[in-house]
Structure 1
Amino acid sequence: MSRDSLWVTEQESYADVVDGYERACRHADATIDALPIDATGYVPWWPQPDVTPPNVMVHVLTETSRHAGHADILREQIDGTDGAGTTTSVRDEAD
């Protein structure tokens, strides 16, 4: 896999993106099940490219959390609710 394959193109539909995500999840689950905890791998674009499954899992969890937070901020700007369903006064504070 190259880093270039980590981006969604304009030609991909919502269904394509969800399908790709679900395939990646299935592949990750199978990889976690198949490898011992101390297996080694290599991610050339990471600052420390020699990795083990826990390194990758923590990285993916961190990235997922970060991006979900970004999406929550954007949604809050649109509809005024936070991730817990609480209405915020972001729009009122900006006025």
Structure 2
Amino acid sequence: MIPTARYMLAMKLKSLRISDFSKGEQDMSDVAHLLRVLGITEIEQAIEILAEFFPKSAADADKQRFVLKRLFAGGLVIDAPQYPRTGG
């Protein structure tokens, strides 16, 4: 079974490791790729997906909003691979 892009985004947002530079940078890159794959262009769209799978984490999503704000402001260059769009 393969997780959907929506579920992967929710898991990545929930487990962001921004205090560890190398792991945090990879997490942010993964989130950026998933945002692009899903066509998400606003912070609250991503938080809504987080809430679908992890409602408690979405209720206190300051860290996620901080990261998403940076990503949408152009903090990372997104060179996303092609992911399958089925199921998600």
Is this a same-fold pair by TM over 0.5?
no
Greater fraction strand: 1
Give me the TM-score of the superposition, normalised by structure 2: 0.26
TM-score, normalised with respect to structure 1: 0.25
